[in-house]
Amino acid sequence: MNYKINVKNVSFYYGENHVLKEINLTVEKNSVAALIGPSGCGKSTFLRCINRMNDIIPGTKMTGEILIDEDSIYSHNYDVTTLRRRVGMVFQKSNPFPQSIYDNIAYGLKIKGIKDKYDIESTVEKSLKSTALWDEVKDRLNKSAMSLSGGQQQRLCIARTIAVQPEVILMDEPASALDPISTQKIEELIQELKKNYTIVIVTHNMQQAARVSDYTAFFYLGELIEMDRTEIIFTKPGNILTENYVTGKFG
């Protein structure tokens, strides 16, 4: 099996609060894994473990191991800056920089040390085309990103993420604030992106998980109850808790 992410016995604590308990799972390369479960069950905390964003919260502790390819990302000599290049993140609320559409995407390239104007311009165009945004914004690249609609802003944030060519993209409810048409565009985009990236998405929307993911992991009270191919989780899950959740008996 061609695993991109391998999670072994991961527990996570906010102070004394044990919020993730012995999580073990794998995510295949070029697949979409959806994390589902009720609010407060640890999905977003787990997602942020994969790019070490929880490191910046005081009083937190993680035990266990997370491997991306063969690299143990919590080992003492693993460079967090390298990790953030390899693992991009798209948040629930779109967060474009208060700059032009062009500069939003060029920013990460410049940080990476790319100076060649042609390289930057071609990457900006390619990233916007990848997110089906190019035709909508090509005549106003110098306008503020804040002038875009909510759905366009979220696609711009995805374009900004892929411009620096990560290997993994984490998405924390990327469509929860969007209207149905924008949501559909994001879902279509996820299907396109998995050709080149491995994607882990947190979603509260059961139908969305069923539509976009290859694998679904059900979290409950900090535990991973079950993970399997998405069609199995939604048609014949192995655990009664999973069945009750996906059929709407609780949530």
Answer whether 64's CB lies under 8 Å from 244's CB: no
Query: In order of start, what are the domains of the chain with their CATH numbers?
Result: 3-246 (3.40.50.300)
Cβ-Cβ contacts under 8 Å for 118 (sequence gap 6 or more): none
What are φ and ψ of residue 200, in 5° steps? -120, 125
Q: Distance between CA 227 and CA 181 in Å, rounded? A: 29
Name the 3-class secondary structure at 199: strand
- Give the pairing type, strands 168-172 and 198-202: parallel
For helices 101-111 and 117-130, angle between their N-to-C axes, nearest 10 degrees: 120
- For residue 234, with 0-12 CB atoms within 10 Å meaning exposed, 13-18 middle and 19 or more buried, which class applies? buried
Give residue 250's pLDDT: 79
Q: Distance between CA 158 and CA 140 in Å, rounded? A: 18
Give residue 177's pLDDT: 84
Beta bridge partners of 65: 8
What would the two tokens of residue 98 be? Answer: 């208060």
Q: Rounded to a whole number, what is the distance in angstroms from the first to the last CA of the chain?
A: 33
The Cβ of residue 109 has, within 10 Å, a number of other Cβ atoms equal to 20
pLDDT tens digits in sequence order for the chain, 251 residues long:
689 999 999 999 999 999 999 999 999 999 999 999 999 999 999 999 999 999 999 999 999 999 999 999 999 999 998 999 999 999 988 899 999 999 999 998 998 889 999 999 999 999 999 998 999 999 999 999 999 999 999 999 999 999 999 999 999 999 988 889 889 999 999 999 999 999 999 999 999 999 999 999 999 999 999 999 999 999 999 999 999 999 988 76
Answer whether 5's CB lies under 8 Å from 69's CB: no
225 CA to centre of own chain: 21
Q: E strand or H helix at 218, and its extent? A: strand 215-220
Answer whether 45's CB lies under 8 Å from 20's CB: yes
Give residue 139's pLDDT: 96
